[in-house]
Amino acid sequence: MTLHELITQAPKSDIHVHLDGSLRLETLIDLARERGVALPSQSAAGLREQVFKPVYRDLTEYLQGFQYTCAVLRDGEALERVACELAQDAIAEGVRYMEVRLAPQLLVTRGQELGGVLRSVAAGLARAARDFRASAAVVSGADMPFVSGIICCAMRNFQRGMSGYYDALLDAFPSMPHKQIVALASQEMARAAVASRDRDGLPVVGFDLAGEEAGYRAGHHAAAYQEAHSRFLRKTVHAGEAYGPESIYEALTLCHAERIGHGTWLFAPDRIASAAITDREGYVNALVEYIATRRITIEVCPTSNLQTMPELGGDLANHPVRRMIERQLPVAVATDNRLVSHTTVTAELCRVADCCQLDAAGVKRLVLAGFKGAFFPGSYAEKRAFVAQAAARIERLAQRSGHGNK
């Protein structure tokens, strides 16, 4: 058994995957037809040629497809279907733990409530998990069950026309500075996430900040993160995509981040903007050591980064994932957007393993990292048991393939 085969057969995790970027193309076409949403093409091949391309010019082109996916997801039936299909697709490739993230405020219309969006997504995930749990493999103990959680995203910035929710909020506070309205929306999202977990019993496991990073600091959302922090909701932040080390530092210190989404410019002292930081190399090194010591997981989405960051030249060798692994940072490889990036967890793991020339021990650590970094919708004891179950299965596969205890 090759290392690629070990990755393919091993239980895997996906802790950074966006619902609205991970639809099946056939489902997008069906939902658009049913809801009267105009698409550039009515065929999967046409959409792949015009919208969901293998290669994008820049982030703007990459994000073009979300106008269509979000448009078809603004009702409970569609949300439940897409969540269920995403979980089914993940299960089929060996994913046994997944955290689905979405921005409910993007997917509601006027008069709807955020909790309804989350209930629909939770129902879809639960249906897929329930069906798999009844499968012969899980019933016999030959396979482990599928567990999932939901991460609620606030947006760093929004404009009129992005959703009915945002339009209503802008209408309600016509004279309030825009940044204050954005911060208010983030606080409402944090409160809704906590209420959905505590009142409705939904598997909401974390809070996130997504969207435009350049010009919209994570620190502007500190109150929302304090709301989540005070209610023991786990926290991650998209950081280090458009800004460098300072953005990651701000996420850790002002937003109590326990994980970092992407973190691509962690090792980029030239992207430090503050004139007060004179020893830029020293600052980066201290930040990296802090992340390593605190075991703060970096959610790395290689293909997505190559598609949205022209500076990487489309070559994973230019991505910092190898340095992250060499510095012994906890690296959890994830998909980000399965449709938009044409990828799976298996493909992403194989790509990183090849680029970083990992041996069997390195592959096993990489595969297991997402389970360890999970915000898991259960007790700590339950999480430890689940991680141990995944680790044992990975080791058994490795033993059978001759890669055990390496």
The enclosing domain of 114 has a CATH number of 3.20.20.140
Could you tell me if 236 and 299 are in contact, meaning their C-beta atoms sit under 8 angstroms apart? yes
Helix (H, G, I), strand (E, B) or coil at 99: strand
pLDDT at residue number 76: 93
Q: Looking at this protein, which amino acid is placed at residue 179?
A: K
Could you tell me if 99 and 14 are in contact, meaning their C-beta atoms sit under 8 angstroms apart? yes
The answer to the question of residue 236 being in a domain is yes
Q: Rounded to whole angstroms, how far apart are CA atoms 212 and 242?
A: 8
Classify 141 in phi/psi space as left (phi over 0), alpha (psi -120 to 50) or beta: left
Q: Rounded to whole angstroms, how far apart are CA atoms 74 and 68?
A: 11
Residue pointed to by tokens 């930040």: 287
Which one, of 264, 176, 274, 143, lies nearest residue 219 by Cα?
Answer: 274
The answer to the question of residue 37 being in a domain is no
The answer to the question of residue 59 being in a domain is no
The pLDDT tens digits of the residues spanning 200-215 come to 999 999 999 998 787 8
What mean pLDDT comes out for the span 239-265?
Answer: 94
User: Which strands make up the sheet holding 259-262, listed edge to edge?
Assistant: 12-18, 95-102, 147-155, 204-210, 234-239, 259-262, 297-300, 331-333
What mean pLDDT comes out for the span 332-345?
Answer: 97
Q: What values do phi and psi take at 81, rounded to 5?
A: -60, -50
* Element at 96 (helix H, strand E): strand 95-102
Cα angle at 350 between 347 and 355, to 5 degrees?
Answer: 125
The pLDDT tens digits of the residues spanning 34-65 come to 999 999 999 999 999 999 998 888 777 888 89
Q: Looking at this protein, which amino acid is placed at residue 133?
A: R
Number of domains in the chain: 1
pLDDT at residue number 162: 92
The pLDDT tens digits of the residues spanning 80-128 come to 999 999 999 999 999 999 999 999 999 987 667 899 999 999 999 999 9
Residue 306: CB partners within 8 Å, gap ≥ 6?
A: 312, 314, 315, 316, 319
Q: What values do phi and psi take at 260, rounded to 5?
A: -120, 130
**Confidence band for 33, pLDDT divided at 50, 70 and 90:** very high
Radius of gyration of the chain (CA): 20
Q: What values do phi and psi take at 338, rounded to 5?
A: -65, -40
Could you tell me if 224 and 207 are in contact, meaning their C-beta atoms sit under 8 angstroms apart? yes
Residue 216 has pLDDT above 90, yes or no: no
The answer to the question of residue 53 being in a domain is no
Residue 377 has pLDDT above 70, yes or no: yes
The answer to the question of residue 231 being in a domain is yes
The pLDDT tens digits of the residues spanning 315-331 come to 999 999 999 999 999 99
The pLDDT tens digits of the residues spanning 266-313 come to 999 999 999 999 999 999 999 999 999 999 999 999 999 999 888 999
Q: What's the mean pLDDT when you consider all of the chain? A: 95
The answer to the question of residue 41 being in a domain is no
Residue 137: CB partners within 8 Å, gap ≥ 6?
A: 143
As a whole-number percent, the residues of the chain with pLDDT over 90 amount to 88
- List residues with catalytic annotation: 241
Helix (H, G, I), strand (E, B) or coil at 60: helix
Could you tell me if 338 and 86 are in contact, meaning their C-beta atoms sit under 8 angstroms apart? yes
* Domain membership of residue 166 as a residue range: 3-23+73-401
DSSP 8-class letter at 398? H
Could you tell me if 202 and 124 are in contact, meaning their C-beta atoms sit under 8 angstroms apart? no
Q: Rounded to whole angstroms, how far apart are CA atoms 385 and 363?
A: 21
The answer to the question of residue 385 being in a domain is yes
The answer to the question of residue 97 being in a domain is yes
For 353-369, give one letter per residue: b (16+ CB within 10 A) or e: bebbebebebbbbbbbb
